[in-house]
Structures are given as structure tokens and as C-alpha cells.
Amino acid sequence: MPFYSASTSASGNRAIRGHIVTMTGDPFVMGDNDVLVDIADGCVVIHDGIITAVGPYDQVKDQIPTGTQIDHYRDHIISSGFVDSHVHYVQTGIIGAFGAQLIDWLNEYTFVAEQRFSDKEYSAAVAKIFFDELLRNGTTTALTFCAVYPDSVDAFFEESVRRGTRMAAGKVLMDRNAPEALLDTAQSAYDDSRVLMDRWHGRGRNLYAVTPRFAPTSTQAELDVAATLRREMPSALMHTHVSENLGEIAWVRSLFPKSKGYLDVYDQSGLLGPGAVLAHGVHLTAQERMRVVETQSAVAHCPTSNLFLGSGLFHVHQAKNPKHNMTVGLGTDIGAGTSFSILSTMNEAYKVAQLTQYPLDAIKMFYLATLGGAQALGIDDKIGSLEVGKEADVIVLDPSATDLLAFRSAQVTSLEEQLFVLATMGDDRSVAVTYVGGEIVYSRDGNSPELKLKEER
């Protein structure tokens, strides 16, 4: 499973040919057929990491500069890279920790594991594993929590710069209700975050995210600091949790008795708005969902972790009601989530939707995993779909990755059915190649970028 650091080819040009599938809008609002781009023999033309042409091969081949490398993937699907809109890189080592709901799980596993990230060398080692897993699973952008320690943030972004990826992350802010070794203060939270923001936001393709863990671990003073940081750098994101677990909601109510509810704690602190990504939102009320829409905030739907911790079922049909349509992306929520695979996450999202009497189709699932996630992070002008002017983060999906998948794919009669089969049966083995900025950074079959050359114009 070779990984490669992103680099620029000698000419800066590349073309990727295959069955192109991408979305240009929100199918929950516009309808599947109006947003789906389906080009059976398509080509994505790339110059210096930016898409310069997309369309049927016969129509764009004359736009491919002479000498350009053309990677031709017959019988494969070419998609924009997946976006993981909520994950914890510092919880990579506790995936599959048995037997607890949210608060107990935090105390027994998470808070213990995160203390190891005071060590920069350890943080760097985990960051490498984390990026390997993302790229192996076709995830080219993620919004992640780091630990409270600044070294954990530096390690993450240093790895992102090395890989050439577009990532978003931030130091966790928490000044109460956690082990002493994991606590900061409102002042140190501001000082450390300000340094990290100045160092990393906008460096390479990186974005900083102001990251109060969740309301129970922040005093009002700490939430006020988070709001100050957001005002000082409005282009930074804000990343936290909301309404994941019923016990958590009751705890928030006891800690903030003057608030109208969990979401209102963030609202009154000035933390909602464009670029605010709220993980889970399982138990948001109708009024709270309206407020998410009004403030142009976003929610990360994390079905695998919600099921694993028994937190509840996210009602995607309520969240994506066209009359008050929330911006929603998919999150793996490693380590309560049990897989880095966004395909596996789609599978769980489908099952959760079924349990809420909503048939979530494949077009909508792929939208949530790509353009929906990019919209949640406010970077859909840069990533999330295969369109001219966007960054060339591209994945190649193999519908015949396993014997059973190949057999099942041979029976499909439409693209929608093929995508649904990939979403319900696919995993990391279905990701053949991952491109970042137009360069191969992962190849399942072990071929070097040079050996992936299929033809040349």
C-alpha cells in the first residue's frame, strides 16, 4: 500500500480518464437528476494542481497539452475526494474501545489517550498513521480535533504540509471537567491558539479551527475566548460538539441554567455562523435546527459513532428538509467511529435513515460525502466536486475491488445502483488511487506514479 508525498510533475500537467461522477449542488433541495454529473468516458484535465477542464474525453482531449500524462482507469469511477467533516486524529489509538456511552467513554478512554499527545514525537507518529488511513480510504480533506497540547497541532499540520493536503484542525480548548493534565485556562487557551492560528491558518492548504471540545468542558470565559479568536480571524473555522447524547444535554442544562438549550450556549457565546461545524446534532429540536439554518452553521452527521456509543439516530430527512435545509456533511468521528472509510460511513448513514423511515439514496449519500462536506467547511469553492477552477483532489473507485463486489456490480443496471452497491459494500479496498493536488499520493496496487501512466497525448 505505497504512499507518496504530493509533488508537481515536470510539466505540471496531468489528465485522469474514466467514468466521472460528481455533484454540482444539493440533491435534497434540487433533486438527484439536476445535480448529478455522469460522464461514462470522461476526463479531468489538471494544471499545477487545479482542474482546467472536465467533460467527455472526446470533447476535452484537444485541451490536453502535448506531453501530458493521462491516467486511464477503465471500468472505474472517478470522483472528487471524500471529506470527513468530523474526526479526532488523537483518538486513532482507541478505535473499538468497548462498552461505554459518551461520558463514560470520554473518561475511561479518551482523556487517558489524549494525555500522550504532550509528546511531540508521539504526536508525529500518530499523525503519520492518521494521514495514511485517510488517504487509503479516499479522504482528501478532514476537519479534526487535536489535543489540548500545541505540539499535537504542530505535528498534525506539519504532516499535512508534507502531504500537500487541504486539512482543518485546532487545539482543543477545555478548562474544566477533565483531568488536570488536559486542562488549559482561558488565557492560555487564547495565547496558544493565537500562536497556532498565526502559524498554520492559510499555510499551504491548511485551515485553522477554533475548537472548544464541548460546552461541559468549557467555562463561559473559555467560550468567550473562542468567540474572540473567531472575531480576530473570521476565515478560521469553529469546531465543536452538540446534542450527541441525552445525558450530555442534561449535563449542559445544569452547567448553563440560563441558556435555552445546548445550542443556545454556543449561540449566546457568539460561536455560531458560517464556518461553524457542530458534530452530531442527533437530538437537536426543531427550533434548534431552524437556528442552525438561520446562522448558516453546519452539522457533521456521524452515524458509526452514534450507533457505537448508543447516542441515538440522526434524522437526516429533518435536517435536510428543503423548507429549512441545514448544511450537513459526513463524519467518521474516529475513535468512537469504527472506520476511516467514508464508504462504510455511508453504509451506516443509510441504515440510520432507514430506522427513521427515510430511504437515503446513493446520490444523496455521495453528496454528503463530497460537496456536502465541503459546504459544511465553507470551502466548496475549492473542493468537493470535479469542476473547473477547483483543486484536483480526486479518487478512483473500483467497483470490482473484491470478488463479491465484482459479482454484484456485474448485476447493476444503472449508475445509481452501482453507487449504492459501493456505498453499502465498499470500504478501503474499493479505493484504487488517491490524488492530492493532481498527484498520486496513494495507490492500492502498489504501482508507482510513473507506472500508472496509461497513455500520453
* Residue 39 domain flag: yes
Query: What gap in Å lies between CA 442 and CA 205, rounded to an integer?
Result: 19
> pLDDT band at residue 446, thresholds of 50, 70 and 90?
confident
What's the CA gap between 456 and 14, in Å, rounded? 10
Q: 75 and 89, same structural domain?
A: no
Q: How many CB atoms lie within 10 A of CB 187?
A: 12
Whether residue 4 lies inside any domain: the answer is no
Which CATH number is 432's domain given?
Answer: 2.30.40.10
Q: Domain check: are 347 and 439 in the same one? A: no
Question: Looking at residues 276-297, what average pLDDT do you find?
Answer: 98
Facing residues of 260 across strands? none
Q: Are 366 and 391 part of one and the same domain?
A: no
Percent of the chain with pLDDT over 70: 95
- The three three-digit cell numbers of residue 105, written as one number: 467513554
Alpha-carbon span 437 to 6, nearest angstrom: 7
Q: What is the pLDDT of residue 228?
A: 98
Both 149 and 186 in a single domain?
yes
361 in any annotated domain: yes
| Burial of residue 323 (number of CB atoms within 10 Å: 0-12, 13-18, 19+) | exposed
pTM to 2 decimal places? 0.95
Taking the C-alpha atoms of residue 427 and residue 379, their distance in angstroms, rounded to an integer, is: 26
Beta bridge partners of 328: 299
Range of the domain at 150: 82-376
Question: What tens digit of pLDDT does each residue of 344-364 get?
Answer: 999 999 999 999 999 999 999
Give the pLDDT score at 447.
61
Per-residue pLDDT at 454: 43
Average pLDDT over residues 189-196: 98
Which of 319, 345, 376 marks a domain boundary? Answer: 376
How much is the pLDDT for 148?
A: 98
Asked whether the predicted pLDDT for residue 4 surpasses 80, the reply is no
Domain boundary residue, one of 343, 376, 409 = 376
Residue 449: pLDDT band with limits 50, 70, 90: very low
For the purposes of burial, counting CB atoms within 10 Å of the CB of 246, is it exposed (0-12), middle (13-18) or buried (19 or more)?
Answer: middle
Statement: residue 429 has pLDDT above 80? yes
Q: Cβ distance 17 to 60 under 8 Å? A: no
Mean pLDDT, residues 412-427 taken together: 98
Confidence band of 3 (pLDDT split at 50, 70, 90):
low
Please, what is the average pLDDT of the chain? Answer: 95
Give the model's pLDDT for residue 99: 80
Amino acid identity, residue 313? Answer: L
Residues 43 and 159 in one domain: no
SS3 label, residue 3: strand
For residue 453, pLDDT beyond 80: no
Q: Average pLDDT of 97-107? A: 88
The CATH code of the domain that includes 166 is 3.20.20.140
Handedness of CA 319, 322, 323, 327 (dihedral sign): positive
Q: What is the pLDDT of residue 9?
A: 47
| Tens-place pLDDT, residues 373-414 | 999 999 999 999 999 999 999 999 999 999 999 999 999 999
* 1 within some domain: no
Cβ-based neighbours of 287, under 8 Å, separated by 6 or more: none
- Which of 336, 357, 376 delimits the end of a domain? 376
Is 228 found in the same domain as 125?
yes
Cβ 36 vs Cβ 27: under 8 Å: yes
Q: Are 356 and 321 in contact (CB under 8 A)?
A: no
Does residue 98 form part of some domain?
yes
- Give how many domains the chain has, as a whole number: 2
336 shares its domain with 395:
no
Quickly state the pLDDT bin for 82 (edges 50, 70, 90): very high
Do 188 and 54 have their domain in common? no
* Apex 241 CA angle, 98 and 90, nearest 5: 55
- Per-residue pLDDT at 295 exceeds 80: yes
pLDDT value, residue 11? 59
Per-residue confidence (pLDDT) for residue 102, from 0 to 100: 87
Same domain, 194 and 342: yes
Report residue 100's pLDDT band, with 50, 70 and 90 as the boundaries.
confident
The DSSP result for 259-291, as a single string, is: SSSHHHHHHHTT--STTEEEEE-TT--HHHHHH
What phi and psi values does residue 397 have, to the nearest 5 degrees?
A: -105, 135
- CA–CA separation, 352 and 358 (whole Å): 9
Rounded Cα gap, residues 358 and 432, in angstroms: 31
In a domain, 371, yes or no: yes
Residue written as grid cell 457542530: 278
Tracing cell 495514511 back to the chain, one arrives at: 132
Backbone angles phi, psi at 260, to 5 degrees: -85, -10
| Domain-located, residue 8 | no
